[in-house]
Structures are given as C-alpha cells and as structure tokens.
Amino acid sequence: MTAKPTPRSIPRHISRRQRPQAPGPQRNTLPAEAGADVAAIIRVDHAGEYGAVRIYEGQLAVMRARAGTSPAVKVIAHMAEQEQQHLTAFDALINERRVRPTALAPLWHVAGFALGAASAMLGEKSAMACTAAVENVIDGHYAKQIATLDHDPALKKTIADFRADEIAHRNEALSHGAEKAPAYRLFSSAVKAGCHLAIRLSERL
C-alpha cells in the first residue's frame, strides 16, 4: 500500500503574515535636554521672582518708614504687587512640573531684602536705580529664554507676559529719577553684576 504524500510543512517565518503592530502610548518627543532646560528655566525664574519680591519688600519697609505714602512708595508698591503675581505663577509651575526649587532660596530671602533696604536708605532715586538695574537684567534674561521656548508655547507666553511687566517697571523707575541717583553708573553696574551671578547660581543649585 502506497503511503499518501503528506504536504510539506511551510516554514513558520514564511507562513506567518506580518501583522501591524498596535500603536503604543505616545511618548514625549522632546529630547531630554529640552526637559532639563525647561526645569532650569522654571527654577531660575522662580528664584528671580522671589528675589524681586524680597527687594521690593526691603525698599517698602524703609520708604514707608521715611516717606509714608509718597508717589515713589505707590510706584514701588504697584511693582511689588505684580512681582508677587509672577511669583505665585512660578510657585504653581514648580509644583505642576515637579521642578526642584533652588537650594539658595534662604540666601535670596536675606540678600534680596538687604539690597532693597540698602538702596532705599540711600534715597528714593537710588531705590529706583536699583529697580531699573534689576529689571534691565531680567529683560535680557527673559528675552533669551523666550527665544528657546518654541517647544513650550504655554511657558513661552507666561514669560513673555512677565517680561512686558519687567520692562514697564524699568521704564517707570527711569521716569522717576533712577539715573539721577548718586554714583548711578557704579551702583547700577554693581547691582547688574549681582543679578547675573544670582542667575547663574540659581540655574545650577
């Protein structure tokens, strides 16, 4: 009896059809460096706004004791209110994006108030000179950040809005006699140098 021929087995790698893979969960396509940069931006800006609030608190403590409710006090108080709004926004971003705050916050707490109080003790024009110098640095700092944030439009808009406030603060300080402060150029240069150093440290620590 002749055995019936059995069909030759087809190799698995040929018989199996290629099945389309189910799409997996979408991943963040941003490079790791972008996430790190955003964290550094939020950290340093949070520190900067905290420092600004403390500078204005120091100025107001001295100016209110000396001049009560002078026009300059009202101007500084309005700026302080806006800086507090900025700080509140960055407080929220720190929590929402789980960014580590700067470890130098205790230093900026003291240094910011001391700078503000010292500038006000030199007179209202010196307080305005301090404000103009700080805001000039922050204007340039925010401008550089905005240029790198096309991948994060929400953060870019927040910083752009805050930058507009900082520019207005600088212009207001200049219109209230900042450049007439004693040793204006030397004082302004010293404040700017301190701000640049604080930025570099807060980005890293």
Report the 3 state secondary structure along the chain: CCCCCCCCCCCHHHHCCCCCCCCCCCCCCCCHHHHHHHHHHHHHHHHHHHHHHHHHHHHHHHHHHHHCCCHHHHHHHHHHHHHHHHHHHHHHHHHHCCCCCCCCHHHHHHHHHHHHHHHHHCCHHHHHHHHHHHHHHHHHHHHHHHCCCCCCHHHHHHHHHHHHHHHHHHHHHHHCCHHHCCCHHHHHHHHHHHHHHHHHHHHHC
For residue 67, name the pLDDT band (cuts at 50, 70, 90).
low
**Could you tell me the residue ranges of all domains in the chain?**
35-204
Residue 133 reports pLDDT greater than 90: yes
Decide if 120 contacts 126 (C-beta within 8 A).
Answer: yes
> What top-level class would CATH report for the domain 35-204?
mainly alpha
pTM of the model: 0.79
Residue 36 reports pLDDT greater than 90: no
What's the mean per-residue pLDDT of the chain? 85
Confidence (pLDDT) at 203:
84
Residue 88 reports pLDDT greater than 70: yes
User: Residue 52 burial by CB count (10 A; 0-12/13-18/19+): exposed, middle or buried?
Assistant: buried
